[in-house]
Amino acid sequence: MRAAVYTKYGPPDVVSIQQVPRPVPGARDVLVRQAASSVTSADARLRAFNLPKPFGIPGRLALGIFGPRKKVLGVEFAGTVEAVGSAVTKFRPGDRVFGIDVFDCHAEYKLVRENECIALMPEKLSFEDAAGVPFGGVTALDFLNRAKIKPGQKVLINGASGCVGAYAVQLARHFGAEVTGVCSASNAGLVRSLGASRVVDYATTDFAREPVAYDLVMDTVGNAPFARCAPVLAPTGALLAVLGAPEDLFRRPKDGRRLIGGTSAERPEDLHLLADLLAAGTIRAVIDRVYPLDQIRDAYAYVDSGRKRGAVVLTIHNLIAAQPKTG
Ligand SMILES: NC(=O)c1ccc[n+]([C@@H]2O[C@H](COP(=O)([O-])OP(=O)(O)OC[C@H]3O[C@@H](n4cnc5c(N)ncnc54)[C@H](OP(=O)(O)O)[C@@H]3O)[C@@H](O)[C@H]2O)c1
């Protein structure tokens, strides 16, 4: 099968389309014939080995010292079930599925354990839309859940037009919060349409100097460490450091406020909730650009700009027969 392979860390041209063996499902595996995947900020980081400084050495040990151990990136998948292992009970061939599973999604076929973060796709969702939701959606949901978000809270999302931010705005709104989004002026309309009642343009206004107290501040940009956010965090507020500042790595606030960081968990139940919210039209996929797998280098170059809105999707197999009927 065809896959986007990289054998050394570096710019987009370290990635090339090559033939690799098609995976064979074990007893508990689901083999997905992929219609679409995506290039996420995480793929771009791993490809370039662009990790925050404190993670340099552990990152090399985990990912490969001289070059990547796992040679196919990609964390989101959407497609149809091609085959299942003998012990699989939740899925069967032909099912339309989507999900998140780190590595090996930039390929024609993807193996996923049936108990991992994989779910049936909502009936009317296209594969392109489905491939752009799990990474941002599951991350945003995990952080908001860990913060125990409540109706009526004031929530600020820094980086509201990015992939995590776009779903964080929608989910925080769904949970009944009053949402402020921070983005550039050109993305203000998008962020409002996702549910933000206020938008702050970071080019003209420093949100951390405004006379407002937020219950939750989510930072997806990495420029809002605890010290900067403290003046606008309510006495029991929390900073959700999706992209934590290095200076906060070992910080444990002692004044009643919380700092929630680390890596988000990928829970099937969170993906099921996202599927339900998509089916109900409560949230929507936010897709910026769509590239064929063959043009993955162009997709990476765009993601590297740091300016994408929501997700950048890759199309892989053309599964027209399995797409929802429109009109
Ligand atoms: N902790 C975890 O488990 C976890 C999980 C997922 C992701 N992450 C990390 O979270 C970060 C965000 O991921 P992502 O996929 O959402 O990134 P992304 O989609 O690449 O973010 C791009 C967005 O960032 C906005 N942006 C750039 N500079 C900004 C600024 N100074 N202020 C406000 N917004 C700004 C851009 O908006 P404008 O064009 O309007 O500037 C653009 O829409 C990544 O670093 C990723 O590695 C962590």
Measured in Å, residue 133 CA sits from the centre of ligand 1 at 15
Q: Which fold has domain 135-260?
A: Rossmann fold (3.40.50)
Is-contact 142 267, C-beta < 8 A?
Answer: yes
Fold match between 2-132+285-322 and 135-260?
A: no
For ligand 1, whether the C-beta of 80 sits within 6 Å is: no
Ligand 1 atom 2, closest CA: 263
For ligand 1, whether the C-beta of 307 sits within 6 Å is: yes
Distance CA 280, CA 278 (A): 5
Say what the pLDDT of residue 323 is: 79
Measured in Å, residue 324 CA sits from the centre of ligand 1 at 31
44-54 burial, b for 16+ CB within 10 Å, e for fewer? bbbbbbebeee
**Residue that the structure tokens 């992209």 belong to:** 243
pTM over 0.85: yes
By most ligand atoms within 8 Å of CB, the mutation choice from 167, 204, 221, 228 for ligand 1 is: 221
Say what the pLDDT of residue 324 is: 81
For ligand 1, whether the C-beta of 51 sits within 6 Å is: no
What is the crossing angle of helices 41-48 and 296-304, to 10°?
Answer: 100
For ligand 1, whether the C-beta of 181 sits within 6 Å is: no
Measured in Å, residue 63 CA sits from the centre of ligand 1 at 22
Neighbours of 55 (CB within 10 A): 14
**For the chain, which residues make up each domain, given as ranges?**
2-132+285-322, 135-260
What is the crossing angle of helices 134-146 and 163-174, to 10°?
Answer: 50
Measured in Å, residue 45 CA sits from the centre of ligand 1 at 12
By most ligand atoms within 8 Å of CB, the mutation choice from 243, 302, 304, 305 for ligand 1 is: 243
Say what the pLDDT of residue 250 is: 85
Measured in Å, residue 220 CA sits from the centre of ligand 1 at 5
Distance CA 33, CA 146 (A): 33
Say what the pLDDT of residue 325 is: 67
For ligand 1, whether the C-beta of 126 sits within 6 Å is: no
Distance CA 184, CA 161 (A): 8
- Which atom number of ligand 1 is nearest to the Cα of residue 184? 40
Say what the pLDDT of residue 326 is: 60
Say what the pLDDT of residue 51 is: 86
| 29: amino acid identity, one letter | D
Measured in Å, residue 159 CA sits from the centre of ligand 1 at 5
- Which atom number of ligand 1 is nearest to the Cα of residue 41? 15
Q: Which fold has domain 2-132+285-322?
A: Quinone Oxidoreductase; Chain A, domain 1 (3.90.180)
**Residues facing 258 on adjacent strands:** 238
SS3 per-residue string spanning the chain: CEEEEECCCCCHHHEEEEECCCCCCCCCEEEEEEEEEEECHHHHHHHHCCCCHHHHHHHHHHHCCCCCCCCECCCEEEEEEEEECCCCCCCCCCCEEEEECCCCCCECEEEEECCCCEEECCCCCCHHHHCCCHHHHHHHHHHHHHCCCCCCCEEEEECCCCHHHHHHHHHHHHCCCEEEEEECHHHHHHHHHCCCCEEEECCCCCHHHCCCCEEEEEECCCCCCHHHHHHHEEEEEEEEECCCCHHHCCCCCCCCCEEECCCCCCCHHHHHHHHHHHHHCCCCCCEEEEEEHHHHHHHHHHHHCCCCCCEEEEECCCCHHHCCCCC
- Give every residue of the chain whose pLDDT is below 50, as ranges: none
Measured in Å, residue 132 CA sits from the centre of ligand 1 at 14
